[in-house]
Amino acid sequence: MKGRSWFSSICVLLVSIMIALAAPDALSGAGAGTVSVKRTQYGKMPDGTVIDQYTLTNLKGMTAKVITYGAILTELRVPDRKGRPGDVVLGFNRLAQYLSDHPYFGSTIGRVANRIARGKFTLDGKEYTLAINNGPNHLHGGLKGFNRVVWKAESIVNDDGASVRFTYLSPDGEEGYPGNLLVEVVYTLSAQNELKIQYTATTDKATPVNLTNHSYFNLAGNGDILGHVLMLAADHYTPVDDTLIPTGEIKAVKDTPMDFTTPTPIGARIDQLTGDPGGYDHNYVLNSGGKSLALAARVLEPKSGRVMEMYTTEPGVQFYTGNFLDGTLRGKRGIVYKKHYGFCLEADHFPDAVHHPNFPSIILRPGQTYHQLTIYKFSAE
């Protein structure tokens, strides 16, 4: 009897330990020096809804912070060549600042990233009307896109790293789009200093879907980004009109200021661009064609030695150089965000694809699943 009692006690103890290790509270409370996800309260919405912040940590000195409002990446700390961590994304310290008008810092964008001309499209013979919120056009999902909704979240720690999974059900008719769209976005901080963003979506009615993340990067942490050295794996881009709507042409970058097929400082030819943007705000057609996960871009910041490589399954990347930052916003660490203080590499399908049959389609239908994987991998040299 004593032998069986001792054996039973050991079994109970082992089961208890296994349950404790698997419990979400134990995972989210993991301490320093471990792969962990920690949940804290970030603030409250005007209606009292609590907004949580999830801090992802790996073993190599990287941390990422994301919040349930807008599934926004608020902070990304990356070591430089001397091992010193620094925050490489623009953003704010307080929820109130994200609730005010801002240029989509760190936001998850949907249903449709980028612009739709005149805020109208026709699908299966029916015309849909969307909000006009950028000149004469519809931009980034409308007045209340995915960047302005509260997402459900859960933390995950597994062999791939520390993750947080966000989910949101966009109801039929939201911002003028058809169909109930169930969206999942998973941020993962891997042991290889990768920030992985994986998207899936399903619908019960045909609808356009084009998701992306709108983080503004500055690998130096402050100052303009014109000295960052950029390579884009794209031999072509889509020219735009004066409202930044594609003309439908797919044009070669060779012998133009758009050419980043070899590593080139972002500011090397920026003054050759004409028009209102005052910098780059263009969709690049990736050589991979979106057929598989492939290198899309590589950026080096010479002073810190930080390197960011971007891999994606998408056919395009919108390269934007913070042209409309004008010094009116004060962000983290008291930094005033001036023109060209951040750059965006937004993996997505081409702008205004609903009006261009020669562009890859963004229409999702019932029974199909939207998939996207984009990885930002960091190192130093």
How many Å apart are CA 33 and CA 39, to the nearest integer? 17
Domain membership of residue 10 (yes or no) is: no
Domain membership of residue 12 (yes or no) is: no
In this predicted structure, the answer to whether residue 19 has a pLDDT above a threshold of 50 is no
H or E stretch including 336? strand 336-337
What is the total count of domains within the chain?
1
- How many Cβ atoms sit within 10 Å of the Cβ of residue 53? 21
| pLDDT for residue 277 | 65
Domain membership of residue 204 (yes or no) is: yes
| pLDDT for residue 33 | 58
Domain membership of residue 226 (yes or no) is: yes
Domain membership of residue 153 (yes or no) is: yes
In this predicted structure, the answer to whether residue 215 has a pLDDT above a threshold of 80 is yes
Give the three-state DSSP class for 247: coil
What mean pLDDT do residues 28-33 have?
42
Of 42, 35, 34, 47, nearest in space to 71 by CA: 42
The model's pLDDT over 246-282, given as tens digits with 9 standing for 90+, comes to 999 999 999 999 999 999 999 999 999 976 668 999 9
| pLDDT for residue 11 | 39
Average pLDDT, the chain: 91
pTM above 0.75, yes or no: yes
Residue 52: CB partners within 8 Å, gap ≥ 6?
A: 39, 40, 41, 42, 67, 68, 153
Range of the domain at 258: 36-380
The share of the chain scoring above pLDDT 70, in percent, equals 91
The model's pLDDT over 367-378, given as tens digits with 9 standing for 90+, comes to 999 999 999 999
Beta strands in 125-176 (DSSP E): 126-129, 138-139, 152-158, 161-170
Active site members: 214, 346
| pLDDT for residue 9 | 41
The model's pLDDT over 39-86, given as tens digits with 9 standing for 90+, comes to 999 999 999 999 999 999 998 879 999 999 999 999 999 999 999 999
Contact yes or no for 309/373 (Cβ under 8 A): no
The model's pLDDT over 110-147, given as tens digits with 9 standing for 90+, comes to 999 999 999 999 999 999 999 999 999 999 999 999 99
Q: How many helices (H) and strands (E) does the chain have?
A: 3, 29
| pLDDT for residue 278 | 85
How many Å apart are CA 306 and CA 299, to the nearest integer? 8
pLDDT band at 7 (very low <50, low <70, confident <90, very high): very low
Domain membership of residue 1 (yes or no) is: no
Domain membership of residue 344 (yes or no) is: yes
Burial of 205 (0-12, 13-18, 19+ CB in 10 A): middle
CATH number of residue 315's parent domain:
2.70.98.10
Domain membership of residue 16 (yes or no) is: no
In this predicted structure, the answer to whether residue 289 has a pLDDT above a threshold of 60 is yes
The model's pLDDT over 332-380, given as tens digits with 9 standing for 90+, comes to 999 999 999 999 999 999 999 999 999 999 999 999 999 999 999 999 9
